[in-house]
């Protein structure tokens, strides 16, 4: 097994990249997380690529949630819009766009709708604040463990939880 990963690492990484390009994120991450840690060089390459795949998946989730919010708002469905915006990851590529949509919606509501919307957005703000604090704490912990660990700790965390997170998201929001 070790010899296989040591000699076929580029192929393993290329196959995972191809799966990710087809938006088969779970399969890509499973392939990348299958590289044994004893195959140090390949393991590091797989770890780096797993972070890239995870970010691509997260950005896809972001875009899908934003699209759902926009569709819901086009129907003036405040509840569905708020729920869709809750699914936008705080560190997703479209987070700022989701915030802009939120502000645009708030500006167009009448007094009663605005009150309901602001209550929902207060809940949204609290959730986003908690996510941001969680990310900040993780970065502080990584920094506190030293320069080398600050690079690998977040990657290890992504590596260990990415497949589970993607599977849970796919079950919760089938495409």
What pLDDT was estimated at residue 105? 87
State pTM to two decimals.
0.66
Q: CA angle, corner 47, sides to 43 and 48, nearest 5?
A: 120
pLDDT digits (tens, 9 = 90+) for 18-33: 999 999 999 999 999 9
What pLDDT was estimated at residue 147? 38
- pLDDT band, residue 34 (cuts 50/70/90): very high
Report the alpha-carbon distance of residue 74 to residue 98 in Å, rounded: 14
pLDDT digits (tens, 9 = 90+) for 54-89: 999 999 999 999 999 999 999 989 889 988 998 898
- pLDDT band, residue 153 (cuts 50/70/90): very low
What pLDDT was estimated at residue 139? 61
What is the average pLDDT score of the chain?
Answer: 81
What pLDDT was estimated at residue 19? 97
What pLDDT was estimated at residue 118? 78
């Amino acid at each position: 097994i070790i010899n296989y990963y040591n000699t076929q690492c580029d192929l393993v990484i290329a196959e995972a990249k191809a799966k990710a390009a087809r938006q088969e994120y779970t399969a890509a991450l499973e392939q990348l997380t299958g590289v044994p840690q004893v195959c140090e060089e390949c393991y590091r390459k797989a770890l780096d690529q797993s972070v890239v795949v995870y970010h691509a998946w997260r950005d896809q989730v972001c875009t899908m949630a934003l699209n759902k919010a926009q569709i819901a708002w086009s129907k003036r469905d405040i509840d569905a819009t708020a729920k869709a915006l809750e699914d936008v990851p705080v560190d997703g590529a479209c987070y700022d766009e989701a915030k802009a949509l939120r502000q645009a919606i708030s500006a167009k509501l009448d007094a009663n709708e605005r009150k309901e919307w602001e209550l929902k957005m207060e809940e949204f703000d609290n959730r986003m604040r908690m996510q941001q604090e969680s990310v900040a704490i993780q970065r502080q912990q990584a920094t506190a463990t030293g320069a080398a660990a600050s690079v690998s700790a977040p990657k290890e965390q992504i590596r260990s939880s990415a497949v589970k997170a993607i599977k849970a998201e796919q079950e919760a929001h089938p495409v």
